[in-house]
Amino acid sequence: MQGLEYLKHIPIFEELAPADLAAINTVTIERRYKKNMIIFMEGEPGEGFHYIKSGKVKITQMAPDGREHIINILGPGEVFAEVLLFNRGSYPATSVAIEDSVIGIIKNSDLENVVAENSRIALHIIQVMSKKLIHAQMKIRTLALSDTVSRTAQVLGRLSKQYGQPVAGGVQIAIDMTRQDLANLVGTTRETVSRVLSSLKKDKVIDFAEHQIIILDEKSLKRYQK
């Protein structure tokens, strides 16, 4: 699936008319990244709006103590760096390809010119940014109010919905993710998240090996999320 046809499947653009999609397609740049390649670094001058055509990307920030915090893991069709629209700031986070990925990029100045001529595109962008803000607020609330077991179960539940693939006995989270990656998503240490995973495995809620996690009992996992 290439160019104009692919844009129809990006949530921010999917309801737009063919002429609007064509206008966006003319200003879209495509770049390819190998696994573990950095797409952009926190603090670098913002280049533009990004969306994922294939692959997966993690968005991270560095804490004052030097630890990496994973803000989100994104897959095909999702957008990132849209916070830079309508301003000339720097990237507020780092993005890294966690598998071979193809990224569509629309430079700020080009997209702003398109948006200025089409209020429907502007509305879609506002809606996407609003959803991202709600997600950030929910994560802050989760970190503030939930214990580590609950937060780990919530993250596993979300990843299962986004990237789960049916396998014998359960649902496998189809991401090559280390214990440290998961700990960063949860907002805890690798040792703590390993203890939680071992407890969930003992209770036959999940199973895991190397970098893969399988949800064995989704109903029980939901009970841990409270």
Q: Name the residue range of residue 23's domain.
A: 3-143
Q: What is the pLDDT of residues 102-123, one digit of tens each?
A: 999 888 888 788 878 777 777 7
What distance in Å separates the CA atoms of residue 63 and residue 75, rounded to the nearest whole number? 24
pLDDT at 95 over 60: yes
Q: Are 84 and 91 in contact (CB under 8 A)?
A: yes
- Looking at 143, 178, 210, the residue that finishes a domain is 143
DSSP state of 137: H
Q: Are residues 44 and 115 in the same domain?
A: yes
Residue 23's pLDDT is: 83
pLDDT number for residue 17: 78
In tens, the pLDDT along 120-166 reads 777 777 776 677 666 666 666 655 546 888 888 888 998 998 888 99
Q: Which of 143, 165, 186 is the last residue of a domain?
A: 143
Six-digit token pair at 100? Answer: 């071979």
CATH number of the domain at 134, please.
Answer: 2.60.120.10
Place 2 in a pLDDT band, splitting at 50, 70 and 90.
low
Separation CA 47–CA 32 (nearest Å): 16
| Residue 27 confidence (pLDDT) | 87
pLDDT, residue 41, reads 93
Whether 83 and 165 share a structural domain: no
Q: Give me the number of domains the chain comprises.
A: 2
Categorize the per-residue pLDDT at 34 as very low, low, confident or very high, splitting at 50, 70 and 90. Answer: very high
Across the chain, mean pLDDT equals 83
Determine the pLDDT at residue 102. 93
pLDDT band at 64 (very low <50, low <70, confident <90, very high): confident
Q: What are the CA-CA distances from residue 204 to residues 10, 44, 116, 157, 170 (Å)? A: 37, 45, 54, 15, 11
Token representation of residue 213:
């996690």
**What was the pLDDT predicted at 117?**
78
Looking at 105, 128, 143, which one is the last position of a domain?
A: 143
Quote the pTM value: 0.69
Same domain (yes/no): 44, 77? yes
pLDDT number for residue 142 = 59
Can you give the pLDDT at residue 47? Answer: 83
Residue that wins the pLDDT comparison between 196 and 66:
196
